[in-house]
Amino acid sequence: MNKLAKIFKTACLLLAGFSASAQEAEMADTMRSNGKIYVVVAIVLVILIGLIVYLVFLDRKVAALEKRLSKKQ
């Protein structure tokens, strides 16, 4: 659970850094006025959540394999 918290904190810090350096763009204003920006944000969030879940499961599998390997030795 500690690893998951570290990953979440890192992701939050990265996203905060990106939003702080964002500049207004004409395309963003157009998409916001048409309501399409919410679709883009939703897709990006789904992809990011999917990647984080995949990494957590992968970390668990690797930890289990390492534990099995250390028991054999």
Distance, in Å, from the CA atom of 71 to the CA atom of 57, rounded to the nearest integer, reads 21
pTM of the full structure: 0.55
Burial (0-12, 13-18, 19+ Cβ within 10 Å), 31 = middle
Task: Please tell me the predicted confidence (pLDDT) of residue 69.
Answer: 92
Task: Please tell me the predicted confidence (pLDDT) of residue 54.
Answer: 96
Task: Please tell me the predicted confidence (pLDDT) of residue 65.
Answer: 94
DSSP strands (E only) in 1-73? none
Where in the sequence is the domain holding 25, given as residue range(s)? 2-72
- Match 């399409």 to its residue by tokens: 36
pLDDT along the chain (73 residues), means of 10: 77 68 66 81 95 96 94 85
- In the chain, the number of structural domains is 1
Task: Please tell me the predicted confidence (pLDDT) of residue 67.
Answer: 93
DSSP H/E element including 13: helix 2-20
Distances (CA, A) of 70 to 2, 57, 65: 22, 20, 9
